[in-house]
Structure 1
Amino acid sequence: MGIVIESPSKRAVRNQLYLGVDVGGTNVRAAAYPLRHENVEGAQAFTTSLKANDYPSLKDALVEVMEIAESIGVRNRITGMGFGIAGPLDGSKVKLTNHAGWKEIDLNELAQEFGVKVGGLNDLEATSWGIVSGLKASDVEVLQKGKPDFLGDEAIIAPGTGLGEGRIIERKYPRPSEGGHSDFAPKGEEQKALLSYLEELYGEGKVTYEDVLSGQGLVDIAYFLAKLNGEEYDEGLGFDQGMSTEVLATKIAKQARTGTHQLSMNAMNIYTDVLAQEASNLAVKEKATGGIYLGGTTKHDLPFILGKRSRFLHIFQAKRKPQGFLPNVPLAVITKDDINQLGAAYFIGHKPVKISV
């Protein structure tokens, strides 16, 4: 559940903008949206992306964002900031789960520093609010049309630096989840061997779906396969020991998409199989008759998934019970780049619980 902190300033502003900020483990992405009749509109006034590790704190990163806004003459129009953050909220404070340097964000401090209304919520909840704001057909790639229940619940799974999961009750009320930290349940001998390999890294009985469905997970899968084959995965690929997990994962995914390295393709095969399995788990756990959305970095892997679409759907549907349920669940990949920023901005005007500072 998110929180909104009212602005310490009561200034009247025409043509207001709300700033939506996606705070991930790697990047800080911000976009400003016009406010019309308490609704955030999808057209951006400006957008920017910063590397989180380049700044000692989120506040320092936001100072640069606001300088960009000042340079194009819209700084004074920004009256609200919404933050989608990879981490749990505790009152007005958020503990980051996937950032080595930033441990905590204080929303009260940001409201005072920038003199605007501030809202904070889980990053997957921000994605969910972006869905609630209204997606167009061009914002998604449908994998399975299904038979949607237009009053039914929806769910979302989004790999990235970590693995986010969430649900949307009756297509209107987003709720966060920490389901990505549930225990990884392998299927088949290869995945069982992968589990044993990951238990050597993370401890027996402590491997989660996030340990597979994330940037680090994809890298670990590749090294697992290299070990099985008695190979050194770095050799001949232009990799070096100093490369970040993000760069390694991006290279592996690109090699898989372009078919330029067999081991990378095999790693992505395992990764997307597990993604289909966990999407299926989420569909039955949440009874997501409104549909399942695949978010996060999945849009970058879309060409690979489309190339094995029939296998992906077969795995998604392959449950003994409840019979006939999963083929009717709509399944789509979110392709809209600013979904989290839009959702974080949209949230500010629609969250009823408010705290004044």
Structure 2
Amino acid sequence: MPMQHDNDQPTFPILIGDIGGTNARFSILIDAYAEPTQFPNVRTADFATIDEAIQVGVLDKTSLQPRSAILAVAGPIRGDEIPLTNCDWIVRPKQMISGLGFENVLVVNDFEAQALAIATMPDEYREPIGENVTGKQASRVVLGPGTGLGVAGLVYAQHRWFPVPGEGGHVDVGPRSRRDFEIFPYLIAIEGRIAAEQLLCGRGLVNIYQAVCKANGEEPTWTDPADVTGHGLAGTDRNAEETLSLFVTYLGRLAGDMALVFMARGGVYLSGGISQKIIPALKKPEFRAAFEDKAPHSAMMRTIPTFVVTHPLAALSGLAAYARTPSDFGLAVDGRRWTRA
């Protein structure tokens, strides 16, 4: 894995950005000791380009001009043009350097930023799920059901944290219980398979709900994920209630699988808005039961804690942690860092 070199240290002040499909969040970190200066969220649909959004949403609103930029984006980072998965923006770091005045630009995966955040997440921003609330200084996993399903590992080795991005949200999932076998025939397959992201995200909630209704011989009532979770939490719709129970069960299974892959003795963290909204459902027995049910390693799984990340700006927090002390992280920068010629 490429290592961070001393000459890769970003230059303060640093613009930090978390670019999502709907909103972009920005802050400026003046130095390694300051708290980031936060700016209002920017709606991606309001600006034709990310450069325009940075200029209008940040640079025009402060006399403090950043010299570096560290941006977290949803999408693969290959080459000098980086298209985003869920919006029309294209990140062009060379153009940012020439047009916005940055000396260097680093672009990382959005779930690498989430992984950086959980490396040093204070207790006040992690809600324990289950009785075990002690996370060791050991490898961790973060999963984020939201618009899609993000997964990243965080490996602790050589006294450093190494974020490991990937596409774990697209692994196969299959039926296990008798009820699963009744429901899965009604789930929408893509090219013959059911991937985790088709169940464990906003549209996945609706997908499960519609399958539950069909298995029960009933017509679905709700089409919005918020309606499904709302009625499921309130217990005002039995199909929505079962959907939420299945959702946390499937999330527990996948979280347990990822914990095994990374030997995540430091804990598994659930990030994103959906996780925060359904904390009451996650605290019921189904999530931890599914998480721990990994024979022959169930005893070990009971020792691995699980948490919901409640920090409102976790990705920005992770990027700021890296910007302050990059030597604490084995973040790969080769092919993802651009500097002024």
Matched, 1:58 2:58: no
Q: What letter matches 1:266 in structure 2?
A: E
Q: What are the Cα deviations for residues 263-285 of structure 1, in whole angstroms up to 9, with x where unaligned? A: 22222111111110000000111
Alpha-carbon separation, structure 2, partners of 1:269 and 1:50: 34
SS of residue paired to 2:41: strand
Spell out the pairing of 1:212-231 with structure 2 (5 A cutoff): 212-231=199-218
Structure-1 residue corresponding to 2:82: 94
Give the superposed CA RMSD.
Answer: 2.8
Offset at residue 3 of structure 1 (A): 11
Structure 1 unaligned spans of 5+:
5-9, 240-247
Going from structure 1 to structure 2, the CA distance change for 1:198 and 1:56 (only over 3 Å counts) comes to farther
Structure-2 residue corresponding to 1:79: 67
Going from structure 1 to structure 2, the CA distance change for 1:84 and 1:182 (only over 3 Å counts) comes to same
Going from structure 1 to structure 2, the CA distance change for 1:259 and 1:57 (only over 3 Å counts) comes to farther
Going from structure 1 to structure 2, the CA distance change for 1:336 and 1:3 (only over 3 Å counts) comes to farther
Q: What letter matches 2:213 in structure 1?
A: A
Q: What are the Cα deviations for residues 310-344 of structure 1, in whole angstroms up to 9, with x where unaligned? A: 22211111111224210111211111011112223
Structure-2 residue corresponding to 1:202: 190
Matched, 1:47 2:47: no
Offset at residue 86 of structure 1 (A): 1.3
Offset at residue 115 of structure 1 (A): 1.3
**TM-score normalised to the size of structure 2?**
0.84
SS of residue paired to 2:39: strand
Q: What are the Cα deviations for residues 108-164 of structure 1, in whole angstroms up to 9, with x where unaligned? A: 2223322123221111100111223x22110101124266442x2111111111111
* Contact 2:16-2:70 at 8 Å conserved across structures: yes
Q: Which of 287, 292, 297 is residue 312 of structure 1 equivalent to?
A: 287
Offset at residue 262 of structure 1 (A): 2.8
Structure-2 residue corresponding to 1:321: 296
Offset at residue 59 of structure 1 (A): 2.7
Structure-1 residue corresponding to 2:60: 70
SS of residue paired to 1:328: coil
> How many residue pairs align between the two structures?
321
Q: Which of 330, 335, 344 is residue 310 of structure 2 equivalent to?
A: 335
Spell out the pairing of 1:1-357 with structure 2 (5 A cutoff): 16-36=12-32, 41=34, 43-66=35-58, 70-71=60-61, 74-97=62-85, 99=86, 101-102=88-89, 104-116=90-102, 117-132=104-119, 134-144=120-130, 145=132, 148-150=135-137, 152-170=138-156, 172-199=161-188, 201-205=189-193, 207-234=194-221, 248-297=224-273, 298-306=275-283, 308=284, 310-348=285-323, 350=326, 353=333, 354-357=337-340
Q: What letter matches 2:293 in structure 1?
A: A
**TM-score normalised to the size of structure 1?**
0.80
Q: What are the Cα deviations for residues 14-59 of structure 1, in whole angstroms up to 9, with x where unaligned? A: xx543322222232222333422xx6x5x34223223323333323
Alpha-carbon separation, structure 2, partners of 1:57 and 1:219: 32
Going from structure 1 to structure 2, the CA distance change for 1:81 and 1:269 (only over 3 Å counts) comes to same
Q: What letter matches 1:135 in structure 2?
A: M
SS of residue paired to 1:329: coil
Q: What letter matches 1:220 in structure 2?
A: N
